[in-house]
Structure 1
Amino acid sequence: MFEFITNNEDRGQVGIGTLIVFIAMVLVAAIAAGVLINTAGFLQSQAEATGQESTDLVSERIDVTSSVGIVGNASAGELSEIRIGVSGAPGADQIDLSETTIQAVGPNGQANLVFTDVEADGTTDLSDSSSVTDIAQGEFAVQNSTGAYVSENDAVLNDEESYTIVVNPGAEPFGDLEDVSAYSSGPIYDDAGNSSFSQGQSSSLELVSPSSATTQVELTAPDLFQTDDEAVRL
């Protein structure tokens, strides 16, 4: 009924076969474990990166504390400056305003504004003697709490300093002055009949930080300006 293997050579062959199968199973298990470990590590790294990006989109955001316009020519109903107070959102790290972009839509189209610390001539640094009319089209400048224009290296939001973004209301998309530096004491109509951002007009801004976090701002000028150089809430 039972067959006994009495040949020593047969016994050895059976043992070697079992050992080979066992080793093969161990190798397969080891390879599978390695693949799982590598996959788990990759997924963990990807999850951490995605989580950090999601956190940055929420925390590394620019908060707008105020939006003010300075009346340049009340009789013409035009602004000479648009000033936007900014700070870092609660919990945000330092935010480099020189790497920030402003996507603006206004009465005269749309434009992407980038940081500048030089005047429209492209060679002269913005200084205490510079005016908003020295800011070229498609650009914005930054002032510190003392009203001085800051350089690229200093335009960083932190807990120690507040900043103001300044844009030229005569430049597109806010105004449509062909020469945005054509006036010196407040916007006026140029020879072509173009003007700067005026009373009753509105504009939409989107501040995009270096981490791609966005902040939307709606600017709406009052329907009537009273006096030159007055500050009006936008």
Structure 2
Amino acid sequence: MFENITEDRGQVGIGTLIVFIAMVLVAAIAAGVLVNTAGFLQATAEDAGQQSVNKVTNRVDVVSVHGVVNASSPSTVDNVNLTVRLAAGSGSVSLNNTSIKYLSADTATTLTNNNSVTADNINWENATTDEFAVRKIADDDTSFPILNGQADRFEVVINTSVVEGTSKNGLQTGESVTLEITSRNGGTSQVILTMPQQLAGKEDGDPVAL
């Protein structure tokens, strides 16, 4: 009787050992999966956080805006000029990789920088309805068209007579346009402009505050 009990206990001990080893292996595999998953989630969270920071900080500020009069009948503003600089705390922003969402009563489009009309003296002959131009005002380190310092000042020029279509020759008195300037990283600045009432009597090329 005692011999049979001894044999049973030995069999139970081996089975328990096998189960224990299996549990250890499963726990080790699970731990490895958890560590890998935690690392992946941490990296994803860091990337998402950096992207969110870039969208808030990497953008431009609009310092001033003026229009240029086209003394047609009726008189219109056919150029909108925006002086821009880096927003506080922003990294470098390339205006080559910046887009502008243009929204008026008659037109909705997205404008991109056209290098063929980017010069100190802008020629719009080859410009299309979805383009803007850039010229430098202040650029100490010749980074144009990349804003990389608070001292940099560039001018964004939108020919509204091209964007709106030649039938309108630009924006008329009282009309409004909304501009959303978005950098490559997603940082956005918005400006809403209303054309002034004192366009009548102005000559071609006269500047007006917007």
| TM-score, reference length from structure 2 | 0.84
Distance 2:32 2:169 in 1: 69
Counterpart pick for 2:60 among 56, 62, 74: 62
The corresponding residue for 1:130 is 122
Structure 2: gaps (5+ residues): none
User: What residue identity is the alignment partner of 1:117?
Assistant: N
Residues 51/132 of structure 1: CA separation in 2 closer, same or farther (3 Å cut): same
Distance 2:188 2:158 in 1: 18
Q: Secondary structure at the match of 1:171?
A: helix
Q: Secondary structure at the match of 1:30?
A: helix
| TM-score, reference length from structure 1 | 0.76
Q: How does 1:148-187 map to 2 (within 5 A)?
A: 154-159=144-149, 160-173=151-164, 176-177=165-166
Q: Which moved more, 1:57-66 or 1:69-78?
A: 69-78
Q: CA RMSD in A?
A: 2.7
User: What residue identity is the alignment partner of 2:202?
Assistant: T
Q: Secondary structure at the match of 1:170?
A: helix
User: What residue identity is the alignment partner of 2:93?
Assistant: I
The sequence identity of aligned pairs, in percent, is 38
Given that 2:138 and 2:153 are in contact with CA atoms closer than 8 Å, whether structure 1 keeps it comes out as no
Residues 230/195 of structure 1: CA separation in 2 closer, same or farther (3 Å cut): closer
TM-fit CA distance, 1:133: 5.7
Q: Secondary structure at the match of 2:133?
A: strand
Q: How does 1:24-39 map to 2 (within 5 A)?
A: 24-39=22-37
Q: How does 1:1-234 map to 2 (within 5 A)?
A: 12-73=10-71, 76-119=74-117, 126-132=118-124, 135-145=127-137, 154-159=144-149, 160-173=151-164, 176-177=165-166, 194-225=168-199, 226-228=201-203, 229-234=205-210
Aligned residues: 205
Describe the superposition over 1:1-21 as per-residue Cα deviations: whole angstroms up to 9, x where unpaired.
Answer: xx8668775564444333212
- Normalized per residue, the structure richer in strand is 2
- Normalized per residue, the structure richer in helix is 2
Describe the superposition over 1:114-169 as per-residue Cα deviations: whole angstroms up to 9, x where unpaired.
Answer: 111214xxxxxx5444345654321001110169xx9xx83211114211100112
